Structure 1
């Protein structure tokens, strides 16, 4: 991957809208993937023989009020690629409060383990609303797709899910890269 010339983090310029009152949504079957209430990790694993998490970066960042609505000033950021059979399908961006990391220290030490498995196996994590985004170039995520040798001929689509753990928030955003969109359309 030619990611060395790009700067982490990648997803800080994404703008979201609520899935309950969407401005516009893609056609099926991608629409179903965006609005799916279940674990995206599980859904992706059904589409491949080998599933991998590639960590792009993790660090503390200053909370951006366009992305985070809580009182926290600092957040833990994790950005990864979800790769199926050697091809990156999804760019994922996770934001967590310091209080959540204190209670769930395993979140800061996930490494190459998928976050989705933890979120959907621990009943203390409560899934909330889904937001949607459509990303048009120029953007950092489009640059990331290009560096992965994936050309976005149209808009990239993504979803963001709000979770809580004992009232401590966590946000997981997942953007479908061009390879994923092409494969999903073939199903």
Structure 2
């Protein structure tokens, strides 16, 4: 897999919408995965022998214009969630500076550990609503999938969720790559 930090960040300014408008998603399995409220990490781990987090990059940066809940410097982390060596999900986490000041080690020293394990096992972290997005076949994320030797024939779909810790919010975005969608279609899961 040829992925370098030279292209970090891979994410882009994204137009998110509410799940009530999810009727445009034709693939029922993908729609179920996008709207699932539990841990994506746990769900993915149950489908493979070897689950791996590949860090594409992480750094302090300014939030993108569409990240409206965060108006301060953020710790951005972009990763690939891989099942048996194949990237299935591109994920981006945005942690505001104020939350880093409060819980820095929990986020900045994850390394290759999945963030999902922290988010869904800590009682102080409260998941918020899910939002959805569609990525055209010419988007930066589609180009990332192509660089991973995954054929792009349909738009990519992703979800974003805000998590609260006290009065602070962090954001996690997860975009399903073609390998994940192909598996869903093939196995009806």
TM value normalised by structure 1: 0.94
Q: Which residue of 2 aligns with 1:176?
A: 176
Deviation string 1:57-78 (CA, Å, 9 cap, x unpaired) is: 0011112232233332x11100
| Structure 1 unpaired stretches of 5+ | none
Alignment of 1:1-187 (within 5 A): 1-4=1-4, 7-22=7-22, 24-72=24-72, 74-105=73-104, 106-187=106-187
User: Is the CA contact (8 Å cut-off) linking 1:62 and 1:75 kept in structure 2?
Assistant: yes
Give how far 1:4 is off. Answer: 3.8
How far the C-alpha of 1:186 sits from its partner, in A, is 1.6
Note the C-alpha offset of 1:182.
Answer: 0.2
The 10-residue stretch of structure 1 (30-39 or 19-28) with the greater mean CA deviation from structure 2: 19-28
Question: Distance in 2 between the 1:64 and 1:4 partners?
Answer: 21
CA positional deviation for 1:6: 5.7
- Any gaps of 5 or more consecutive residues in structure 2? none
Give 1 or 2: higher helix fraction: 2
The alpha-carbon distance between structure 1 residues 115 and 5, as it changes in their structure 2 partners (threshold 3 A), is closer
What CA distance in whole angstroms lies between the structure 2 residues aligned with 1:95 and 1:103?
A: 15
Question: 2: distance between equivalents of 1:25 and 1:6?
Answer: 33
Cα RMSD after superposing both structures: 1.5
Off by >4 Å, runs of 4+ in structure 1: none
For 1:99 and 1:41, locate their aligned partners in 2 and report how far apart those are by CA, in whole Å. 26
Are 2:19 and 2:130, in contact at CA under 8 Å, matched by a contact in 1? yes
Deviates most, 87-96 or 10-19: 10-19
Change (3 A) 1:152 1:95: same
Q: How many residues align?
A: 186
Paired residues of 1:13 and 1:139 also in contact (CA < 8 A): no
User: Could you say what secondary structure the match of 2:24 adopts?
Assistant: coil
Contact preservation (8 Å) 1:127, 1:163: yes
TM-score of the superposed pair, with normalisation by structure 2? 0.93
Question: 1:23: how far off?
Answer: 6.4
